[in-house]
Amino acid sequence: MASAASSTAPVVKDDVKHGVAPLRAGQGISFFLRRLHSLSGIIPVGAFLFEHVLISNSTAISGPDAYARQVSFLGNLPLVFFLELFGIWLPIVFHALYGFYIWYRGEGNTGEYPWAGNWMYTAQRWTGGIAFAYIVWHTWTMRFSGIDLHAYPGASFGKVQAELFNPALLAFYVVGLIAASWHFAYGIWLFAAKWGIASGEKARQRFLMVCLGLFVVLSAVGLASLYTFRERFPQQPAAGGTVVDTSHGSGTYGKPVD
């Protein structure tokens, strides 16, 4: 009887695919690195993106002087180099490189299972790669090449503006901005789901709508900033300009702030 019963049991094929495999929880150092990777995407990397788009770049909408004052403020923060090194650059490098490792280990199958969750998972991987390339380029050109904007904040508007007059770089900025906005916004949802902040299917669905709204806001503000740089104001000098000192007012053309 046992053999007859077993012969009627359904046969499950070993090669059936079950959608995107869940992130491996891991043990020991793997678990720690995955948790640190998830956390670093929110603090400090996500916080930096939020400030950069919604606060710093949005000041460009008010014009070159307002943007120069914001650049001057950031450039005169105490120990600014160490704040950038440990609060921005190293966390971004860790988050990106470990993210590439997770991407390499993952298995996407949007062709076989074109569900929304699969597409979002895939979009998260690709937007992360695009955002990393965008951040590296933007950081290098704005921070380490050409005129030093910490010393000459009056040149900041013109330096960004000069890149955006290049159609290829303008397209790169648009794509990079949207990719970074999606990666951060959907990353918040992943973080909340992974850390148990949004528990339950309904709670996750509601919070997903909030995160998608954040993506729209970040993209809209960023695109408005790009439009402002390129269209709303005459071309500004990119190698000097009116230097704005937040404590003493405007300085003279081309001189660094004391």
Residue range 15-25, pLDDT digits in tens: 444 433 444 45
Q: How confident is the model at residue 70 (pLDDT cuts 50, 70, 90)?
A: very high
Comparison of pLDDT for 48 and 246, the residue scoring more: 48
**Rounded distance, CA 237 to CA 254, Å?**
10
Domain that holds residue 150: 30-107+120-250
pLDDT, tens digit, for every residue of 181-216? 999 999 999 999 888 888 888 888 899 999 999 999
DSSP letter for each residue of the chain: -HHHHHHTSPP--TT---SSPPPP--STHHHHHHHHHHHHTTTTHHHHHHHIIIIIGGGGGG-HHHHHHHHHHHHTSTTHHHHHIIIIIHHHHHHHHHHHHHHHH----TTT---HHHHHHHHHHHHHHHHHHHHHHHHIIIIISSS-TTT-GGGHHHHHHHHHTSHHHHHHHHHHHHHHHHHHHHHHHHHHHHTTSS-SHHHHHHHHHHHHHHHHHHHHHHHHHHHIIIIISPPPPSS----EETTTEE--TTPPP-
Which has the minimum average pLDDT: 119-128, 130-139, 152-161, 215-224? 119-128
What predicted TM-score, i.e. pTM, was given to this entire model? 0.76
AA identity, residue 103: W
Burial degree of 77 (CB within 10 A; 0-12, 13-18, 19+): exposed
Q: How confident is the model at residue 108 (pLDDT cuts 50, 70, 90)?
A: low
Contact indicator for 70, 58 with CB cutoff of 8 Å: no
Structural domain contains residue 3: no
Structural domain contains residue 20: no
Structural domain contains residue 22: no
Structural domain contains residue 188: yes
Task: Give the residue among 106, 98, 103, 126 at the shortest CA–CA distance from 186.
Answer: 126
pLDDT of residue 13 exceeding 70: no
Q: What is the CATH number of the domain that holds 203?
A: 1.20.1300.10
Structural domain contains residue 255: no
pLDDT of residue 167 exceeding 90: yes
Q: How confident is the model at residue 64 (pLDDT cuts 50, 70, 90)?
A: very high
Structural domain contains residue 38: yes
Structural domain contains residue 57: yes
Structural domain contains residue 15: no
Residue 244, phi then psi, degrees to nearest 5 = -105, 120
Comparison of pLDDT for 26 and 254, the residue scoring more: 26
How many independent structural domains does the chain possess? 1
User: Considering all CA atoms of the chain, what is the largest pairwise distance in Å, rounded to the nearest integer?
Assistant: 97
